Amino acid sequence: MSISKAAILLLFVLVSLSAYSQDIGRPKPPRTRVNPEGLADTTKTAKPNPPAIDDEDDEEEEPKPARIKDTTDYPFLTELHLLLDYGKLLTLPAPFESKAEGGIQAVFENRYVGSISYGYGSINPTGAYKNSDYNATGTYIKPGLFYQLAINPKNKLLLGAQYGMASFEDSGVTTIESASSLFEPYERAFARGGLKASWLELSIQSEGNFRGNFWLGFRVSYRHLISIDNPGDPDVLIVPGYGKTVGNGVPAVNLFLKYKLNFFHPPVVAVPESED
């Protein structure tokens, strides 16, 4: 084979490979189909879409859960409570103070609670004044109003306020001793009666059923002093039912035992929730 024939053959092979590669990269035309009339149909046959399935029709609607609602028409006077502050009873054996407090609460329409408390206090704080023996004794009364929230049948929460009024007296002996011991100690006694004081008490009360009609609970309060009779020299330090007169407000905690008299036992019925 001559060089010219080999060159022509090599050129033919290169042209054939180039045409073949271009044919591979070109998209293929759609297949043609011939219908009975002899016309070519180049469109592809579209597959029919399956019918949509309505899941809502096949699935049954689940019934809505019934909502427990108390629809009872409560009487005006629902309950009557007898209350004893057992925390103050623990102070009776103490030599520096003796306290006692009890009260009555009336529940109206199972929501509103009217209360009244009465107490006694005799306080002799150690170190109240330097070189002085101080004592305050008196009684107090605290009417109040609360709003009752039932967390469940055995636990309740009360929010409210009380107005405290105390009538008391204080007394003491002030002793002044000579630093050099050259003079006899000087003592000055004081006794003041007919003193009065008033305060506002904001409270949160929690209680739970203990056994039968007996309930245990506690009350956290903030007491704000409104008025006080203070003759001075020395100043009034203690108000029974309120506490120390340092500043205009003091916190307080009460522990109580309660006995409930129920006048009505309301049933609880299940009312289906409306579709609206």
Please indicate, yes or no, if residue 41 is contained in any of the structural domains.
Answer: no
Please indicate, yes or no, if residue 82 is contained in any of the structural domains.
Answer: yes
pLDDT digits (tens, 9 = 90+) for 27-40: 555 555 545 554 44
Report DSSP letters for 99-124, one per residue.
EEEEEEEEEETTTEEEEEEEEEEEE-
Check residue 166 and give its pLDDT. Answer: 98
Please indicate, yes or no, if residue 120 is contained in any of the structural domains.
Answer: yes
Percentage of the chain beyond pLDDT 90 is 45
CA distance linking residue 23 with residue 16, whole number of Å: 11
Q: Residue 275 forms beta bridges with which residues?
A: none
Please indicate, yes or no, if residue 181 is contained in any of the structural domains.
Answer: yes
Cis preceding linkage at 240, omega within 30? no
Under 8 Å between Cβ of 88 and 117: no
Domain limits for position 253 = 74-262
Under 8 Å between Cβ of 123 and 240: yes
CA distance linking residue 211 with residue 119, whole number of Å: 26
Q: Which amino acid is present at 8? A: I
Confidence label for 265 from pLDDT (cuts 50, 70 and 90): low
3-state secondary structure of 99: strand
Please indicate, yes or no, if residue 51 is contained in any of the structural domains.
Answer: no
H-run or E-run covering 19: helix 3-25
Report DSSP letters for 153-218, one per residue.
TTEEEEEEEEEEEEEEEEEEEEEE--TTS-SPPEEEEEEEEEEEEEEEEEEEEEEEEEETTEEEEE
Please indicate, yes or no, if residue 113 is contained in any of the structural domains.
Answer: yes
Under 8 Å between Cβ of 145 and 161: yes
Structure tokens at 27: 């998209």
How long a stretch of residues is the chain?
276
Please indicate, yes or no, if residue 126 is contained in any of the structural domains.
Answer: yes
Distances (CA, A) of 32 to 29, 38, 40, 192: 9, 11, 6, 122
Check residue 162 and give its pLDDT. Answer: 98
pLDDT digits (tens, 9 = 90+) for 33-77: 545 554 445 455 555 565 555 555 555 566 665 555 556 677 889
Q: The domain spanning residue 193 has which CATH number?
A: 2.40.160.20
Please indicate, yes or no, if residue 100 is contained in any of the structural domains.
Answer: yes
- Averaged confidence pLDDT in the chain: 79
Report DSSP letters for 46-62, one per residue.
PPPPPPPP-HHHHSPPP
pLDDT digits (tens, 9 = 90+) for 179-217: 666 667 777 888 999 999 999 999 999 999 999 999 999
CA distance linking residue 175 with residue 50, whole number of Å: 106
**Domains in the chain: how many in total?**
1
Q: What does the radius of gyration of the chain's CA atoms come to, in whole angstroms?
A: 46
Confidence label for 158 from pLDDT (cuts 50, 70 and 90): very high
pLDDT digits (tens, 9 = 90+) for 4-24: 556 566 666 555 655 555 555
Q: Residue 132 forms beta bridges with which residues?
A: 129, 174
